[in-house]
Amino acid sequence: MPAPAPHSDHRRRAYWLKTLHEWHWVSSALCLFGILLFSVTGITLNHASQIESKPRVSTRQQQLAAPLVDSLVQALPTARAHGGRAPLPMPLQAWLEEQWEIGTADLEAEWSPQEVYLSLPRPGGDAWLRIGLPDGELEYERTDRGWVSYLNDLHKGRHTGAAWRWFIDILGAAALVFAVTGFFILKMHAGNRPFTWPMVGMGLLAPVLLALLLIH
């Protein structure tokens, strides 16, 4: 059986190399800033105890108008029938959004005959509000731990919502394509670059040895 023509092999190699480069640069463009973000926050998370931050706490209080209090009292039996967990009444949700710029849609509060409590966790901080029953006294507290904490929570996907979780998944897929195409590009160039496989092996061996020997 005759051997394949060298010219045909060269064309096939050039085709695959071009294809790999196209996938490699497209995936790198998609995940560039995401990888930078996760690389930087990986360092800040690794040194979290050494990066000091002073939380800023702000509080607000207000007496709710009678119609809003009535909506809470009327919703209490339904909330208790659902195990003491239910969203805030729509009129109160609209009021909080308009007056205090607090979004509470689709969030479940904890209801009791004495109060309604809603936790409002978010990246880089926390918040909560409490409404006394039946007096309608509203208390709101917000804690801000700064930009480093905010970015760290983005890294962990903590209280970030569905859109950010989708972004992390897409970024992970793009980074995987970037790494795999990079590996095959290395393979195709390895014949002319003798240090390729020793460097790849070092990149694999270093974390394995650290995990086996120094992590207990």
Instruction: Domain count for the chain, please give it.
Output: 2
Between the two ends of the chain, the Cα-to-Cα distance in Å is 58
Question: How many residues are given for the chain?
Answer: 216
Is the pLDDT at 2 greater than 70? The verdict is: no
Domain range enclosing 114: 56-145
pLDDT tens string 122-153: 999 999 999 999 899 999 999 999 999 999 99
Cβ atoms of 117 and 109 within 8 Å: the answer is yes
Average pLDDT, the chain: 92
The reply to whether 118 falls in a domain is: yes
Q: How many Å apart are CA 54 and CA 59, to the nearest integer?
A: 16
Shared domain check, 97 and 118? yes
Shared domain check, 139 and 94? yes
Output phi, psi for 129, to 5 deg. Answer: -135, 150
The reply to whether 108 falls in a domain is: yes
pLDDT band at 121 (very low <50, low <70, confident <90, very high): very high
Shared domain check, 97 and 79? yes
> Residue 140: which H helix or E strand, with range?
strand 137-144
